[in-house]
Amino acid sequence: MRDVSSIHSLVANIGPFNEYSDIYSAQDSFDALQSSKVLIIGAGGLGCEILKNLSMTGFKDIHIIDMDTIDLSNLNRQFLFRHDDIGKSKAECATRFILERIGNSDLKITPHFTKIQAMGLDFYRSFQVIVSGLDSVEARRWINSTLYRLAQDENIIIPLVDGGTEGFRGQSRVIIPTLTSCFECSLDLLSAQTTYPVCTIANTPRLPEHCIEWASQLEWSRQFPGKKFDADDPDQVEWMYQTASTRAGEFGIDGVTRSLTLGVVKNIIPAIASTNAIIAASCCNEVFKIVTNVNPILDNYMMYSGDDSIFTYTYSYARKQNCAVCGSTAKTVAVQRWWTLQQFIHEIKSKQEIQMTNPSLTSGDKLLYISSPPELEEATRGNLSKKMKDLIHRGEEIVITDPNLPISLRIIAHLEGDDKDPEFSLQS
């Protein structure tokens, strides 16, 4: 059973850096702690730690949401799960474990076995704080922009505490919609993904690379225990390719090739329990401070590195004026005059600070390219082969949207260069 008596001393003694000591009330802080409704997004390695910490810190009303089910590979670090839980909902199993182990009559944990995108705005506006332990950049962008939309449209400000880990490294940050920088502001901090989270490849593959990693990391060891995969053996490569192709077909994913298979088989993110514990502790510390106001909250980004030693660094990440979510100005992008619209879309998709997977483009009342529904895609498909100089003029604003993200990115197209491909002209 949980004992939160030690929490009383934390809220009874205000921190030395608190700027509101003259109006601080220990009783109000403790009441806020017990009455606040907190949402945890993600019930993986980080989410399990966060749920355990918040449950032991005095919070009474906790919700946890995750679309994934438990895989054998999760058991070495997601400590709330057991072998009998394989195939079951992570959110539901984590909830059951905590309630059986430390629960009492005043602790309420509500699991949600679904995608975060499936929940409406009414669901999210009911929380005082949201803490994220996701490995999906797309999902983190979605919840970030959703909370900003609530802040801008309804003046409802819900703090987001975001945590992430990769091997021996991790970060935690506090995002206050309209007041601080947001997750979208820092997209260019993320390195181009050449490694893939274990949870994603095991349960919810979305890319051909996920299917290859599943075949490499999980299925190979099941079929050939104790045997190391040899990328120079054509028979083993063929097995890996065929297995990944079958997996991709089951999830309706295209793009698995032999060359791609060889290119990604060594790129696995090591999931380390100690890193999850450190980042989860930092996230929960911030949730506690936001709710109780006992100490100033993080301003606003903490990075951790444990590769060769223990190193942390905290700094204030500035807002970007041209951020698609919290900024007020458009982003200027250099556009070669000879590019086709198809080439421009490829450039947009490859830019680290944009990261859109299925973009649609409009300019004023012109539909440049609409990726869905199929009728509009077919109607605008002819523009893909047209040159940018024939579709837009210099300095024209292009609005880019993606069906997977509730944002609109404004781009000022800076046309430059020749009308013809310089490489083609040189070859001619």
Residue 122 has a CB neighbour count (10 Å cut-off) of 7
Residue 50 has a CB neighbour count (10 Å cut-off) of 31
In 113-268, where do the E strands start and end? Answer: 129-132, 160-166, 169-175
CA-closest candidate to residue 281, choices 94, 52, 30: 52
CA-closest candidate to residue 289, choices 94, 84, 14: 14
CA distance 349 to 302: 28
Q: Which residues pair with 108 in a beta bridge?
A: 61
CA distance 383 to 341: 7
Q: Catalytic residue, from 93, 199, 211, 283: name it.
A: 199
Is residue 199 annotated as part of the catalytic site, yes or no? yes
The three-state secondary structure class of 316 is coil
CA distance 148 to 155: 9
End-to-end, the C-alpha distance of the chain in Å comes to 79
Show which residues are catalytic: 199
